[in-house]
């Protein structure tokens, strides 16, 4: 069911203190989407507001012609979280001017709408379509009360082809679901679960929200995703009720590369699915909300790989033995079934470079990924030694895989076929750190599970000593494509998925090296 904004469901938000900068943002926004919100309240004074409205008027037969652009004018007052310091009467004057200049929609906050006489609201509604909005930047209150208030303020939207907007801070996935459900089975509701959880902003479109917002410059509300991510990474404009939802749960999560990997696969195979990062602090909150969010499967990362195992309905025997899951499939009746693809990931990364049977391998770290790596290498016939900063953890992991623990002070005396780092040491933003010193690299090959940056300090040191180095990227792509195949039942377009991740890393590493020059 298309919403009242039709195909232009991604709304770019233009907000700047000067008319010229605001106009420039509008030009840029129109390259990506046709719906633009104009935050007139961000303009620094009435002179800039008048100048900008004259510019819109001048462009109404040019780049802002109605077939090409849907403009939503907003002049939100401070009482409703905006920047406009004037009175309700001044706000009305500006919105009327904006409508005359060609803005097809006016976003009027409920605080102002409630102050207007019925005939004033009606005459504003005759000038342009009204989006009556409710914002709560502190919490998500009882939304039935909010809906009643919006209806009382003349904003049920149904009558004059208008719409309502409910934007509240979602502190939990439970809150986010309540916001999203306000859009269910209605064409004229914009539902925005604001806040750091972020993913619900994308998923609200699946629930029927008529719009999702993205800033063209500075964020104008908490947790906004970039326009580029909404358009290109999540293909948010194409999301509908049939879109299958996947994601990665973890904390922290916003810098995960998994959305680039998995969405590239869905796009290449034209599968109606989206993969989003879920910031999860409270596992139960996410698990309770997952059905309403439409989650069909998810990846699991720090710190949930071991805890989640206890909350599953079933588990692949290998993952149960490893004691950690990195992949979950939602099966019939909403049952959760877990797998561990880190296991195949490390094997695919190492097998073609070294013969594992009978080899001596040192694993640094004894956490979630160390468990999968240790099981995989021991099963492949390697003699596994484990070195961790907490020796008791190293001993306990060594015991279950039939290997041995080794203390750091003994490393210089030993020689290994391979050293595998499974600690996060050396990962951005601590790229100048290494889990070992150069003198401790007595081996033929070093594999670093860290893949951000690709060439970690550990790998750079190994290369300088003539030792073969393997980036964690190979394992990342292998474990991720294995997940993708479990979920879709199709062969993964591995090269395309890999290229999507490499493009992000290239860009990031170019940016970082430029910053250091
Ligand atoms: P984890 O469960 O938290 O385990 C981390 C391990 O590293 C623990 O043994 C921890 O020791 C140790 N450690 C942490 N900081 C340390 C430090 N400063 N010095 C020495 N040891 C330290 O994390 P994980 O899930 O195994 O992930 C670890 C790393 O592997 C991350 O960088 C992750 O991105 C990467 N990884 C990569 C892939 C891939 O596909 N390439 C897959 C999975 C993970 P304590 O127990 O004492 O805290």
DSSP letter string, 3-62 = -TTTT--EEEEE--SSHHHHHHHHHHHHTT-SEEEEEGGGSSSHHHHHHHHHHHHHTTTT
As a whole number of angstroms, the distance between CA 383 and CA 356 comes to 9
What separation in angstroms does the CA of 450 have from each of 302, 390, 422? Answer: 13, 20, 7
Q: Is the pTM of this model over 0.85?
A: yes
pLDDT number for residue 516: 60
What pLDDT sits at residue 509?
84
User: What domains does the chain contain, in order, with CATH numbers?
Assistant: 10-218 (3.20.20.70), 248-342+478-494 (3.40.50.10860), 354-474 (3.40.50.720)
Residue 160: its pLDDT value, please? 57
State which ligand 1 atom lies nearest to the alpha carbon of 365: 9
Instruction: Quote the ligand 1 centre to 427 CA distance (angstroms).
Output: 10
Q: Which of 365, 372, 477 to mutate to test the pocket of ligand 1 (most atoms within 8 A of CB)?
A: 365
Letter string b/e over residues 41-79, b meaning 16 or more CB atoms within 10 A of that residue's CB: bbbeeeebbebbbebbbebeeeebeeeebbbbbbbbbee
446 pairs with which residues across the strands?
Answer: 419, 469
Contacts 24+ apart (CB under 8 A), 429-433: 431/456, 431/457, 431/512, 432/457, 433/457
pLDDT one-digit tens code per residue, 343-392: 999 999 999 999 999 999 999 999 989 999 999 999 999 999 999 999 99
As a whole number of angstroms, the distance between CA 190 and CA 171 comes to 19
Ligand 1, atom 18, residue with closest C-alpha: 425
Whether 122 is catalytic is: no
What does the chain come to in residues? 517
Q: Can you give the pLDDT at residue 171?
A: 98
Rounded to the nearest 10 degrees, how much is the dihedral formed by the CA atoms of 373, 379, 383, 386? 30
By CB atoms closer than 10 A (0-12, 13-18, 19+), residue 171 is: middle
135 is catalytic: yes
pLDDT single digits (tens) 29-76: 999 999 999 999 999 999 999 999 999 999 999 999 988 999 999 999
Active site includes 262? no
Instruction: Please give the pLDDT value at position 5.
Output: 86
**Catalytic hit among 107, 305, 457, 474:** 305
Query: What value does the mean pLDDT take over residues 188-199?
Result: 94
Quick check: 152 pLDDT over 90?
no
For residues 296-304, give the mean pLDDT.
Answer: 95
Q: How does the average pLDDT of the chain come out, rounded?
A: 94
| 3-state secondary structure (DSSP) of residue 483 | helix
Distance 183 CA to ligand 1 centre (A): 41
Distance CA 5, CA 11 (A): 10
Q: What's residue 158's pLDDT?
A: 47
The preferred substitution site among 326, 422, 470, 471 for testing ligand 1, maximizing ligand atoms within 8 Å of CB, is 422
The one catalytic residue in 107, 165, 229, 448 is: 165
466 by DSSP, 3-state: which? coil
Residue 1 — pLDDT band, cuts 50, 70, 90? low
Neighbours of 268 (CB within 10 A): 15
CA distance 34 to 211: 12
Average pLDDT of span 300-326: 94
Residue 2 has pLDDT above 90, yes or no: no
Task: List the strands of the sheet with 443-448, edge to edge.
Answer: 404-405, 383-387, 360-364, 416-421, 443-448, 468-470
Cα angle, residue 122 at apex, residues 120 and 125 outer, rounded to 5°: 110
The span from the CA of 175 to the CA of 415, in Å, is 54
Lining residues, ligand 1, CB within 6 Å: 302, 305, 342, 345, 365-370, 388-390, 393, 422-425, 427, 435, 449-451, 472, 475-476, 479
pLDDT at residue 156, as a whole number: 58
Say if CB 306 and CB 339 are below 8 A apart: no
- Of residues 385 and 122, more confidence is placed in 385
Please indicate whether residue 7 is annotated as part of the active site: no
Which atom number of ligand 1 is nearest to the Cα of residue 371?
26
Out of 309, 389, 456, 458, mutate this one to test ligand 1's pocket (max ligand atoms within 8 Å of CB): namely 389
Question: Is the torsion defined by CA of 246, 248, 249, 254 positive or negative?
Answer: negative
Beta-carbon contacts of 354 under 8 Å, excluding residues fewer than 6 positions away, are 417, 418, 444, 445
In this structure, the strands spanning 327-331 and 383-387 are unpaired
What pLDDT shows up at residue 89? 96
- pLDDT at residue 220, as a whole number: 84
Here the tokens at position 132 are 């009556």
316 C-alpha vs ligand 1 centroid, how far in Å?
23
Which residues on adjacent β-strands are paired with residue 401? none
Atom nearest to 472 CA in ligand 1: 41
The answer, yes or no, to whether residue 514 has pLDDT greater than 80, is no
Rounded to 10 deg, the angle between the 258-268 and 494-516 helix axes is 140
Average of pLDDT values for 396-400? 97
Mean pLDDT over 486-507 rounds to: 97
- Tell how far the Cα of 265 is from the centroid of ligand 1, in angstroms: 27
pLDDT at 496: 98
The reported pLDDT for the residue numbered 271 is 98
Tokens (6 digits) for 184? 């269910």
Residue nearest to atom 39 of ligand 1 (CA): 476
CA distances from 421 to 404, 411, 441, 457 (A): 16, 14, 12, 12
* φ/ψ (deg, to 5) at 288: -70, -35
Report residue 517's pLDDT band, with 50, 70 and 90 as the boundaries.
low
For the chain, the C-alpha Rg in angstroms (whole number) is: 27
Q: How far is the CA of 216 from the centre of ligand 1 (A)?
A: 36
Q: Is the pLDDT of residue 511 over 90?
A: no
Give the Å distance between the CA of 280 and the centre of ligand 1: 18
Q: Which of 366, 408, 423, 458 to mutate to test the pocket of ligand 1 (most atoms within 8 A of CB)?
A: 423
């Amino acid at each position: 069911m298309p919403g009242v904004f039709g195909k232009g469901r991604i709304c770019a938000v233009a907000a700047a203190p000067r008319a010229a900068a605001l106009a420039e943002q509008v030009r840029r926004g129109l390259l990506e989407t046709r719906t633009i919100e104009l935050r007139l309240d961000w303009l620094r004074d009435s002179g800039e507001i008048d100048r900008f409205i004259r510019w819109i008027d001048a462009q109404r037969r040019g780049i802002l012609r109605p077939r090409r652009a849907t403009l939503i004018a907003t002049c939100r007052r401070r009482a409703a979280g905006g920047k406009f310091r004037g009175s309700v009467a001044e706000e009305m004057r500006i919105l009327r001017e904006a409508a005359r200049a060609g803005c097809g929609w006016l976003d009027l906050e409920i605080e102002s709408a409630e102050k207007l006489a019925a005939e004033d609201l009606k005459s504003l509604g005759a000038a342009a379509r009204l989006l009556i909005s409710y914002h709560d930047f502190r919490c998500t209150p009882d939304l039935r009360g909010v809906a009643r208030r919006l209806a009382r303020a003349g904003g049920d939207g149904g009558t004059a082809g208008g719409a309502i907007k409910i934007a509240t801070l979602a502190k939990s996935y439970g809150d986010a679901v309540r916001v999203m459900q306000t859009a269910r089975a209605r064409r004229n509701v914009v539902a925005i679960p604001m806040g750091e959880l972020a993913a619900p902003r994308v998923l609200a479109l699946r629930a029927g929200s008529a719009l999702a917002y993205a800033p063209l410059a500075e964020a104008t509300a908490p947790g906004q995703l970039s326009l580029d991510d909404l358009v290109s990474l999540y293909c948010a404009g194409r999301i509908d009720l049939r879109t299958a939802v996947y994601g990665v749960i973890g904390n922290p999560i916003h810098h995960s590369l998994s959305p680039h990997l998995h969405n590239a696969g869905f796009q290449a195979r034209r599968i109606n699915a989206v993969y989003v990062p879920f910031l999860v602090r409270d596992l139960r909150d996410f698990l309770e909300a997952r059905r309403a969010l439409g989650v069909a499967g998810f990846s699991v990362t720090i710190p949930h790989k071991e805890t989640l195992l206890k909350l599953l309905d079933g588990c692949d025997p290998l993952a149960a033995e490893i004691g950690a899951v990195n992949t979950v499939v939602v099966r019939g009746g909403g049952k959760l079934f877990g797998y561990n693809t880190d296991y195949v990931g490390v094997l695919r990364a190492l097998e073609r470079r070294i013969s594992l049977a009978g080899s001596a391998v040192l694993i640094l770290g004894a956490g979630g990924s160390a468990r999968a790596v240790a099981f995989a290498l021991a099963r492949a016939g390697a003699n596994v030694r484990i070195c961790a900063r907490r020796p008791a953890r190293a001993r306990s992991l060594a015991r279950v895989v039939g290997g041995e623990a080794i203390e750091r002070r003994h490393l210089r005396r030993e020689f290994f076929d391979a050293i595998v780092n499974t600690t996060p040491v050396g990962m951005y933003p601590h790229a100048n750190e290494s889990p070992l010193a150069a003198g401790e690299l007595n081996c033929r090959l070093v594999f670093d599970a860290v893949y951000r940056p690709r060439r970690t300090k550990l790998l750079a040191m190994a290369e300088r000593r003539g030792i073969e180095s393997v980036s964690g990227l190979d394992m990342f792509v292998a474990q991720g494509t294995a997940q993708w195949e479990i979920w879709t039942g199709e062969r993964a377009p591995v090269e395309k998925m890999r290229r999507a991740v490499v493009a992000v890393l290239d860009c990031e590493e170019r940016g970082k090296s430029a910053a250091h020059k």
